A and B are shown apart, each in its own frame.
Chain A
Amino acid sequence: MTNTSTVRKTDLIFGRSLDTLTLLRNAMQRDKDGLIQELIDSGLRGRGGAGFPTGLKWKFAKGAPGNEKYIICNADEGEPGTFKDRVILEKAADKVFAGMGLCGWLTGATKGFIYLRNEYIWMRNHILAQMNDMNEAFRQMKLDFSIGLKMGSGAYVCGEETALIESMESKRGEPRNKPPFPAIAGYEDKPTVVNNVETWVYALLISYIGADVFAAYGTEQSTGSKLFSVSGDTPKPGVYELEMGMKLSDFVAEFGDGDTKAVQVGGASGFCVPRRKFDQVIIGFEGIPTGGSMMLFNSHRSMYHVLHNFLEFFMEESCGQCTPCRVGCQQLLLGIEAVKSKTKPAQYLDTLMEFTETMRLASKCGLGQSVGNAFNSIVNEFYEEMIY
């Protein structure tokens, strides 16, 4: 085994060689359909984790009928272990807002919103100042588009785009049935583009650097680079912009503490990878995708406690609207406690894994559907730790 290959770092998002308003002005000189095609060709996929092709989403919204459309920045970053949107909003909010303006120009939307989680209320004044500056810039360049701020109120599920829209409409943040998708009927039932904070910046940058330069990084299905939130047992926690499609073993060689036992890729709703599989796993849509959360655990950590913490989280954050998720999250938590205390036999873990399959099939949104990701990977890989 060699440690010669290392992860490739990039500096697109925080790089300051290009002026944000110049980027926007240049983009608005271009042909609209050509620019959307450029986005599609770049292979850019949503950076919040779900990975829907950004160019396609914008194309749908542009083609949607009507002249009332909305652009929404999803800044409800709530996945455990994620904090990259916080850093983008602290250091490069202007690029986020310019990206939204670009989408407004392309799709014909005149109103945008940023939905900011209440946990980030300490940066509200900063966001308002940056937003007002950008709205003024839009006015000066005669772009009929303005951005407003909506605050969240502490609900993880509102990161799901239709729950976010419900919350923006002052309702309980319960996910909607899909279809219709927001690109057709979103906020106020009008065509709506919802993208993650990071996606707006990349879309703006691709309009300048071009699809080829962007896609030169990464792999076929996971082009470009993205921001990773690195935390846990690491000597250098923080936000790093890395090339997509890296091997997890390379990531661990760069960020591990020499004793990494497992990496949780994609937060509580993602997958746990044990040490012996590090060199088999690609970080990207070919392997394990992530919204950016990378939590490292060393051999001193109990994976039972990790799973217990995740399940408590899901039980609290399940919106309760659909039964598989509401009851499932609770029963999984009670179930691993029962096995640990020997009131249920070890085989009960297998029954619980079957529960997660029901949750995956029958839950309405990504929350309930993905609880099984962490559950099954942790239970399967660390079976003995769950029992003893």
Chain B
Amino acid sequence: MEKTVLEEIIYRQGAQRDRLLPILQDVVEQQNFLTEGDMLHIANLLQMSAAEVYGTASFYSFLPLNRKGKYMIRLCKSIIAKMKGSDQVLAAITDQLGIKPGETTADGVFSLELVNDIGWSDREPAMLINDKVFTDLDPVKVTHILTNYLKQASTQAFVTNLSTN
């Protein structure tokens, strides 16, 4: 993340040790992961050791430490999800995007993770994509949802190209 953007986040949250988690959360909300450079810069400005920043960030599964796509898909893998067909939903996602759990598409648009119970056992299979939730999934439904995201991503890429050219 650009230093100025990061400093803006830290300025807004306050450059104090007890604001570390909200700062890390804000960074992840904007770019979906944390880089070594981000963590070093945060450590500097909060006047704490880089190891402590890393140690805190690495504890939490929603604070990824390697590059993730623009859209983070988190498919629930609880026992109830499995009973309701989450493996078929996973197969459909893998078919459509060509990525397995833990991977990111080559264009950097999607990442896929399997996660523990996300609180929808009454309507599994369920998944999160960034800050949205989708429930009662089946292979057809998940394909429609991802197709919409793909359209959205290509429109945005087109607009970005226009503005940079």
Interface residues of A (CB under 8 A from B): 77-83, 85-86, 117-122, 124, 150-156, 167, 169-174, 229-233, 237-239, 293, 295, 301, 305-306, 309-310, 313, 316-317, 319
B122 at the A interface (CB under 8 A)? yes
Contact indicator A78/B80 (Cβ below 8 Å): no
Contact indicator A117/B119 (Cβ below 8 Å): yes
Name the contact of A122 in the complex, choosing from B62, B122, B131 (C-beta under 8 A). Answer: B131
B111-142 residues at the A interface, CB under 8 angstroms: 115-124, 128, 131-133
Q: Contacts A170-B19, A173-B60; is A310 near B79 (CB within 8 Å)?
A: yes
Name the contact of B132 in the complex, choosing from A82, A122, A169, A239 (C-beta under 8 A). Answer: A122
- Cβ of A158 to closest chain B Cβ, rounded Å: 9
A119-B25 Cα distance, complex, nearest whole Å: 13
Contact indicator B119/A82 (Cβ below 8 Å): yes
B4 at the A interface (CB under 8 A)? no
Interface residues of B (CB under 8 A from A): 17-22, 24-25, 55-56, 59-63, 77-80, 82-83, 115-124, 128, 131-133
Contact indicator A239/B122 (Cβ below 8 Å): yes
SS class of chain A's interface: helix, strand, loop or mixed? mixed
Contact indicator A153/B63 (Cβ below 8 Å): yes
Contact indicator A170/B17 (Cβ below 8 Å): yes
Contact indicator A317/B116 (Cβ below 8 Å): yes
- Residues of B within 8 Å of A237, CB to CB, are 121-123
- Cβ of A172 to closest chain B Cβ, rounded Å: 4
Q: Which residue of chain B is the closest to A174 with respect to CB atoms?
A: B59
Instruction: Point out which of A83, A119, A151 has the most chain B C-beta atoms below 10 A from its C-beta.
Output: A119
Name the contact of A124 in the complex, choosing from B17, B22, B78, B131 (C-beta under 8 A). Answer: B131
Instruction: Point out which of B21, B115, B124 has the most chain A C-beta atoms below 10 A from its C-beta.
Output: B21
Contact indicator A154/B62 (Cβ below 8 Å): yes
- Residues of A within 8 Å of B115, CB to CB, are 119, 154
- Residues of A within 8 Å of B60, CB to CB, are 152-155, 173
Q: Which residue of chain A is the closest to B79 with respect to CB atoms?
A: A309
Contact indicator A78/B121 (Cβ below 8 Å): no
Q: Contacts A237-B122, A301-B83; is A81 near B56 (CB within 8 Å)?
A: no
A27-B81 Cα distance, complex, nearest whole Å: 42
- Residues of B within 8 Å of A310, CB to CB, are 79
Name the contact of A316 in the complex, choosing from B21, B116, B123 (C-beta under 8 A). Answer: B116
A269-B27 Cα distance, complex, nearest whole Å: 33
Contact indicator A172/B116 (Cβ below 8 Å): no
Contact indicator B62/A153 (Cβ below 8 Å): yes
- Cβ of B27 to closest chain A Cβ, rounded Å: 12
Given A172-B59, A295-B121, 13 new contacts (CB under 8 A): A78-B117, A79-B117, A80-B80, A80-B121, A83-B121, A86-B119, A86-B120, A117-B119, A153-B24, A153-B25, A154-B63, A169-B18, A305-B79
